[in-house]
Structure 1
Amino acid sequence: MHAFARAAAFCLSIGWVTLDPLESASAQAVATRLQVTVTDLTTGAPLPRTLIQCGDERAVLTDAIGQAVVRDCGQPVAARLDGYQTTVTRPTRPGVLAIQLTPVGRAEDTVTVVGPASGELEAGVPAQVTVSRQDLAMLRSVTFDDPLRTLQALPGVGTSDELRAELSVRGSPFRQVGLVLDEVKSRLLVHTVRGVEQTGSVALLNADLIAAATLTPGAGPQRFGNTLGAELSIRTRPARGDALHGRAMASAIAATASLEGKIGPTDRVTMLGGVRRSYASWIVRKVDPDVSGTFEFLDAQAKLDARLTGRQRLSAGLLAGSSIYDERSRRVGANALDTGRNRTTMATVAWQAQAGSQWIIRQRAAVVSSHYRNANPDERPLDTGIEREWLSRSIAEWAPRASLSLDGAIHAQHFVSRGTSTLYDPATREPQPLLRHQGKQTLTGAHLHSRWSPHRAVTLGGGARVDQVSGVGGFVGGWLQAQVALTPALAITGAVSRNGQAPDVLQRFGPAGATGLRFERAVLADLGVGWRHGAWSVAANGYVRREADGLDTPDRQFRVTAAQTVSGGNPRAPWGNALTTRARGVELVVRRQHARWSGWVGYSHGRTSSASALDPEFAGAFDQRHLLTITSSVQIASRWDASTTVRLATNWPYEGWFETRGTAAVFLSTDRNALRLPDYRRLDLRVRRRVALPRGQLLLFAEVINASNARNLRQVSASINVRTLVVGRLSERQLPIIPALGLAYEF
């Protein structure tokens, strides 16, 4: 721990103590300096992290209020920012230059956009946080180019499994966290092993194509519904339409490429596409041969935007990928997973129309398909199947004035699943009777949300949502929210909501499916206070969540009963509405957003406990009592930047009935989730250098994952002797120290 603390202190010193050559440069030749201010043409908002360059002079980034100081070289000044058209201009008066950047693909008429499509934080939603594309670019990993893994560094987001992209927020499992991509909510948007837990996963998303990600960890509007806990909304960005742009990145363990630009002589039609390929397995096995399960993937994403008229737009998107999880025959049991393959495809089409200056109408349709095959060490199938989703969503937004807005949507989503599941005799390794499963269900829902500001310091909001699932029933939810600004820098925010989540099609019709399942229900309450001054902000939040009718499969794992007999161990144990859960906690975040140095320190303390008829009270599977996250990104020089991420946490319980005795051997127990994984700690270091080229720029990367080489563990499927109650191989080491080098070319 001492070595880790020294490494963490060293990485933090990069952000706190680094000398600022940008200030030194701006102090030179004071008589010829130029004060540049950059704002958004449509909103007037300042634009931080805009690249400002006068002629061939050294480039400088704007600060949190969109300002920068450069030397007036007597030549045109260029301003560049992702998502905006590059602007080149000259100062009209000495020493001062104001630049307004035009968003890519801006329509001729503008209208106030509300809801998740705006990509902005909403008033009255405590603890909500938005991460921009610039933040993602600084924190993304060369080793695992996965935006969900990057978002695991957000304050309050718990994760201790480095092979899985899933997020646990405030003690909720990932299946209770809603993942929304461009207003399409689907649980299939990850590379993973279907139907098997404790393996690996990677988000089916390309970070180069993302504009922003917004996490709502607690109470708030339920525009997409069918989510018991947090919601993560991700927006892809529009393509730049001024010229053809591209990016290609290669390292020893991964490669990505993206291309964007206009189609035709004007920017009315633009395209954006990207491809990723991971081959990290070989370096992980070279560094640590004892690591068993490895995960590799290949995916591609494309988006086409067309401005039909000044008031109408049409867009289409395609997302496709395949992945494989490989245990390398480390497990020999006839029913053990050796390889898990998955192929997923999503196609979307969206139309948007503006009616005057007050209305926006949108229509979106999508289809998602996933094929999977899991095999044992004999290469014989364990699980095979296909899952499909069809979605239609109609949205209307009305903003008659800045102080009032309403938005509503009608949503329909159809789910289909079918497949086979095979168990093998442990002795003869011959298959038992094949189990076939298939089912379908339809979710229909609607919401209405309103926001009103009776005073510039007060914002009130609320709404209701109704969902109906065929064969399950209906659910009515709602929410109230308020924000009061005590001073221009200090605000209090509170919200309460009633959420519901229906059992999915596999929980009802899969190998462990059950009839008569009901909606899981939850009541959430949040209260927070926030303070902002310049580049600094501080937020403190408290939360409570109570759940009822939670889904559970307790008979899937072996356990010792009160009569000291062994029970459970049925891999096809049915789901049931058996759990009540309570979560409560506090979160503190200190954040700085500045062109020269930005980052955050986030601490959360929480408790999640559950109870059922079988187990009176036990720790939740994702109960993480203490979590400290520190991120820092610093502009070392005009062409150098560095970032660090530190995570320290008490770990999750081993999910199941386990205990240690005497010599630390693990045995089956009567107490659920009583044994915990060791504390988690990890330090990541990254540095990047820009090299200007006649056409574009070259980026050089260096990265060290788990720089302190901490020995972090993850739970795996255990081997259990039901006669002696001894449990073998309950955990394995996660990623060791992994160095990586890479380069990228951008034009």
Structure 2
Amino acid sequence: MHNTYMQFIYMHTASKSSKKKDTLISLSFRLDNRASIEVFTQIFDSRCQKQEQHTNTRHTGNGYMQEHRARYSTPLHNVCFLLLLMLTLLGTSHTTYAKKKTLRFEGTVLEKGRREPIEAAGVFIKELRRGAYTDANGKFVHTLPPGTYTLLIKPLGFVAFKKKITLTTSTNKTYYIEPDPNTRFQSSTKERRFKESSQQQSMNRKQLARMAGGLGGDPLRGIQNFPGIARASRTNGDIIVRGASFADTGFYVDGHKLPILYHFGAGLTVMNRRFLQRIEFFPGGAPLRYGRLTAGLVSIESRSAQPKTVHGEAYISFAGAGFYLELPLGAGWTLSAAMNRSYIDAFFSLFTPDTLTGHFWDYQAKLSWRNKHHSLSFFLLGSDDVLNYEGLKEGGEVPVIGRDKNVTDLRFVRLISKYIYTRKILTFRASLAFGFNQDGKEDSLQRRNNWEWPVELRIDTLLQLHKTFRLSFGLDGVWSLHHFDVKTPQTDVTSFPSPAPNPTYLEDTNQKILTAPALYLSTRWEPAKDIVLQAGVRGDMFMTEGRMRFGISPRLSASVKVHPKWRLLLATGLYNRAPSIEQWSTEQGTPTLDLQKAFQVAGGFEFRPLRQFKLRMQGFYNHMYDLITPSGAPISNEGAFLIQNYTNQGFGRGYGLELQARLHPLQNLSAWVTYTFSHAERGVRPSETYTLYEFDQPHILNLMVMWRIGGGWFINARFRMASGSPTPSLQRVIYDADTDDYKATLSLENDDRLPTFHQLDVRVEKRWVFQHWVLSFYLDLHNLYNARNAEEFRYNYNYTERRPINGLPFFPAFGVRGTF
């Protein structure tokens, strides 16, 4: 900028000899135009060359400063003063005339495709070597003279932007900068997070979403690739961890339990991927704030969007279509909503000879608010699944689903409200969740409908008392109302010989209330720089129909860094969970049942020779006891004789070795290898003999490669191999003349096994990034070489021929997604 600064001082001083006044005239000015300064100085010297002059010149960072001091001792001082004044005004006029015009150049830097402002982006003018940085809203300002310049914008983690600009008037521009796909810089939260257990594993949700076999970019499907997880049948997506059943693993969203994580049939997640903030998986060693489980844990933290403008996406795929939308409401409030609706039943005829129809849909909405120390959110989510099986098609030989018609429906709704307060050493979390679950199934022989209305309260307090010591304690309580509508046959209509053509039925409709409060205390201590110890205890109480059961769960986790590249891991503890409300009821179960329990221990090491490579290996042992098994023995309860439908005589174990190797992005390539060697066994007292559990899979291998080719292209591949699941063998077949049907007897042990499963899935994705939106197209090639993997065996009508029921054949699934 061109400036003019001037200062005049005129004063008289008395002379002692002549009693006449001398004059001191001081002129100070600052001009960016040095030529006008020199001209003025020469004119002044020519007019006052007989006078005593003292001139001092100094250079400042903003221009040149000249000070002129003249002392006059003659009457000509008035003439010199007037001349100086005129020349000063002339110089000022000349400087103002010579001053260049300046323009205001301002703009906004946004992320290309998402339109989010980029903060702290460097905006440089190359010719002037001048720069500015964008503020939190992505805005910058430059003041420049008219001309042509080279504009450089260099945000961290984005592709550098360069453009020639010509300024003739003040202007305001918006620039869209594309993210750098090869950047090593990632956005991170300011909150310091600690691992809650040495068994904790996590993965970036974007990496999970791009995994092959993810059914349309579903990130939670990628959890099935972690070590320790057995392969579930078909595509139902059940999480079977370390030899336990699906019911032994807990699924939590924001600290509250969900009845399911996947839709049945298609195996897609019941939540939109944009609502997923963080996914944590514990194959064992779950932290103390979680209970009522005896195996693994999947913990999902929902995302509270903080957009500065409206964002969303719409998608359509082979399985369904849906949308996601988020918008700012002002004053710190934001609203997000999503819905997904399937048409998967349109493809059923490609995979099964059965007559099968069905649908699923899910929905979510979240209202959130946040400031420096407080955050508040209300999260609504729900799901609705229906599957209607009408039997074998005409001309079909072997059914896939079964022989009897049935209808299955599964629904749930949850509203989770959460409040978080953080200040200095204190973090306080309180959340309340309520809703309902419905699980129903009906066929020609029986009907079973269960409704549940749960209310869950969770309060967690964290105190960072010292940089090496943290204390956590809290309350975790559940109150639930259960309603049952059951119709079951009391006589065995399939036995030989058949006792009667019309069986008798037990029909029951009743309600039960379950109350389950729990308290926990946990500590985290770092006695040395590379040692982390976490220990505590949890107490659970279960109450129903006047009966109480108590469970105490002490747990310990340790992580010791013995070398810059080596870390030892250890976790152990007790876990318990209650029987289902049906198993505990007087009408359908056994009211004297105790809690099911498990003792877990796992240990191993983590080796990181390179920054991009990590190797993790550990062994585990999960001893399960007091498991619930069916029974038909008579018992006495308070003077009355009852049929003991269930007992706690079951026991089991799961043990093995897990290996995981991860290559982090290196030259656009990343890889992930997991291998699990394990055994899962069960037994029933008084026998001490173990038999193979139905989910025993000794060898499980997952190999994944993710390659970012460039130009918006991504190619991912996953190869899976797993031992076939155990299955009972056929012992004998008898013809029943009364019913004109064949009756088969299967072995009581799983002494047979399905063939080895193997499959290759490939995913190809292309992204086009426009200024205001992003278009993505993906193609999932499931079972690329069309492996015929048997999921189970089915027999013909007289059991003379056994045929395998194969899983999904080669199937190309495509989808299109637009994001703005």
The alignment's TM-score, normalised by the length of structure 2, stands at 0.69
In structure 2, the residue matched to 1:361 is 428
Structure 2 distance, partners of 1:98, 1:649, is: 35
In structure 2, the residue matched to 1:531 is 607
Pairwise CA distance, 1:600 = 0.8
Amino acid in the other structure paired with 2:562: L
Structure 2 distance, partners of 1:666, 1:155, is: 41
Structure 1 distance, partners of 2:359, 2:697, is: 28
- 1:642, 1:687 within 8 Å by CA — same for their partners in 2? yes
- 1:111, 1:360 within 8 Å by CA — same for their partners in 2? no
Report the CA distance shift for 1:68/1:488 in structure 2 as closer, same or farther (over 3 A). farther
In structure 1, the residue matched to 2:646 is 575
- 1:666, 1:727 within 8 Å by CA — same for their partners in 2? no
Structure 2 distance, partners of 1:728, 1:397, is: 63
Pairwise CA distance, 1:579 = 1.3
Pairwise CA distance, 1:586 = 0.5
Specify which of 339, 352, 370 is matched with residue 420 of structure 2.
352
SS in 2 for 1:344: strand
Residue-by-residue CA offset, 1:494-543 (whole Å, 9 max, x unaligned): 11111111112232239742211111111111111101221110001111
Report the CA distance shift for 1:631/1:429 in structure 2 as closer, same or farther (over 3 A). farther
Pairwise CA distance, 1:401 = 3.7
Residue-by-residue CA offset, 1:622-645 (whole Å, 9 max, x unaligned): 211000011121101131011112
SS in 2 for 1:243: coil
Pairwise CA distance, 1:144 = 6.1
Structure 2 distance, partners of 1:172, 1:736, is: 28
- 2:243, 2:653 within 8 Å by CA — same for their partners in 1? no
Pairwise CA distance, 1:738 = 1.2
Specify which of 440, 448, 451 is matched with residue 386 of structure 1.
451
Pairwise CA distance, 1:319 = 0.7
Specify which of 142, 165, 171 is matched with residue 237 of structure 2.
165
Amino acid in the other structure paired with 1:582: R
Residue 73 (str. 1) matches residue 162 (str. 2): yes
* Structure with more of its chain in strand, by fraction: 2
Structure 2 distance, partners of 1:183, 1:75, is: 53
- 1:299, 1:320 within 8 Å by CA — same for their partners in 2? yes
Q: Give runs of aligned pairs for residues 538-553 of structure 1, distance below 5 A.
A: 538-553=615-630
Percent of aligned pairs sharing the same letter: 22
Structure 2 distance, partners of 1:340, 1:607, is: 32
Pairwise CA distance, 1:281 = 2.5
Structure 1 distance, partners of 2:217, 2:342, is: 8
- 2:152, 2:160 within 8 Å by CA — same for their partners in 1? no
Amino acid in the other structure paired with 2:317: S
SS in 1 for 2:391: coil
Report the CA distance shift for 1:333/1:222 in structure 2 as closer, same or farther (over 3 A). closer
In structure 1, the residue matched to 2:338 is 274
Equivalences, count: 624
Residue-by-residue CA offset, 1:594-650 (whole Å, 9 max, x unaligned): 172223100110112222137632012221100001112110113101111211000
In structure 2, the residue matched to 1:257 is 323
Residue-by-residue CA offset, 1:357-411 (whole Å, 9 max, x unaligned): 110111110013123442326xx97222312211011110111343221212101
In structure 2, the residue matched to 1:225 is 291
Residue-by-residue CA offset, 1:280-334 (whole Å, 9 max, x unaligned): 2322423x34366666310101111112x43221100101221112323237999
Residue 594 (str. 1) matches residue 594 (str. 2): no
Q: Give runs of aligned pairs for residues 147-546 of structure 1, distance below 5 A.
A: 147-188=219-260, 190-192=262-264, 202-264=268-330, 266=331, 268-286=332-350, 288-290=351-353, 296-307=359-370, 309-330=371-392, 336-354=404-422, 356-376=423-443, 382-423=447-488, 432-470=505-543, 471-509=547-585, 512-532=588-608, 533-546=610-623
Residue-by-residue CA offset, 1:99-157 (whole Å, 9 max, x unaligned): 89575xxxxxx76455xxxxxx44x513x310222122212757466554332122221
Amino acid in the other structure paired with 1:273: A
Amino acid in the other structure paired with 1:612: V
Structure 2 distance, partners of 1:211, 1:582, is: 34
SS in 2 for 1:276: strand
- 1:185, 1:224 within 8 Å by CA — same for their partners in 2? no
Residue-by-residue CA offset, 1:533-568 (whole Å, 9 max, x unaligned): 211100011111111101223779xxxxxxxxxxxx
Structure 2 distance, partners of 1:597, 1:524, is: 36
Amino acid in the other structure paired with 2:426: W
Gaps of 5+ in 1: 1-40, 42-53, 61-66, 77-85, 91-96, 104-109, 115-120, 193-198, 557-571
Pairwise CA distance, 1:345 = 0.7
Structure 1 distance, partners of 2:416, 2:449, is: 26
Structure 1 distance, partners of 2:592, 2:806, is: 40
Amino acid in the other structure paired with 2:297: E
Report the CA distance shift for 1:592/1:98 in structure 2 as closer, same or farther (over 3 A). closer
Structure 2 distance, partners of 1:728, 1:506, is: 38
- 1:507, 1:575 within 8 Å by CA — same for their partners in 2? yes
In structure 2, the residue matched to 1:642 is 715
Residue-by-residue CA offset, 1:418-439 (whole Å, 9 max, x unaligned): 1212246969788834232432
Report the CA distance shift for 1:134/1:145 in structure 2 as closer, same or farther (over 3 A). closer
Amino acid in the other structure paired with 1:162: R
Report the CA distance shift for 1:437/1:675 in structure 2 as closer, same or farther (over 3 A). farther
Amino acid in the other structure paired with 1:684: D
RMSD: 3.8
Structure 2 distance, partners of 1:660, 1:708, is: 35
Structure 1 distance, partners of 2:615, 2:788, is: 33
- 2:731, 2:747 within 8 Å by CA — same for their partners in 1? no
Structure 2 distance, partners of 1:223, 1:431, is: 47
Amino acid in the other structure paired with 2:654: A
- 1:142, 1:254 within 8 Å by CA — same for their partners in 2? no
Pairwise CA distance, 1:714 = 2.7
Q: Give runs of aligned pairs for residues 671-686 of structure 1, distance below 5 A.
A: 671-686=748-763
Residue-by-residue CA offset, 1:169-203 (whole Å, 9 max, x unaligned): 111111001111111024355545xxxxxx78654
Residue-by-residue CA offset, 1:10-56 (whole Å, 9 max, x unaligned): xxxxxxxxxxxxxxxxxxxxxxxxxxxxxxx9xxxxxxxxxxxx999
Q: Give runs of aligned pairs for residues 615-626 of structure 1, distance below 5 A.
A: 616-626=689-699
Bigger shift: 389-398 or 149-158? 149-158
Structure 2 distance, partners of 1:332, 1:219, is: 38
Structure 2 distance, partners of 1:220, 1:410, is: 16
Larger Rg: 2
Pairwise CA distance, 1:476 = 0.5
- 1:293, 1:328 within 8 Å by CA — same for their partners in 2? yes
Amino acid in the other structure paired with 2:653: R
SS in 1 for 2:274: helix
SS in 2 for 1:326: strand
Higher relative contact order structure (alpha carbons within 8 Å, sequence separation ≥ 6): 1
- 2:232, 2:239 within 8 Å by CA — same for their partners in 1? no
- 1:111, 1:359 within 8 Å by CA — same for their partners in 2? no
Pairwise CA distance, 1:75 = 8.8
Structure 2 distance, partners of 1:229, 1:98, is: 36
Structure 2 distance, partners of 1:337, 1:228, is: 34
Pairwise CA distance, 1:72 = 5.9
Structure 2 distance, partners of 1:729, 1:421, is: 34
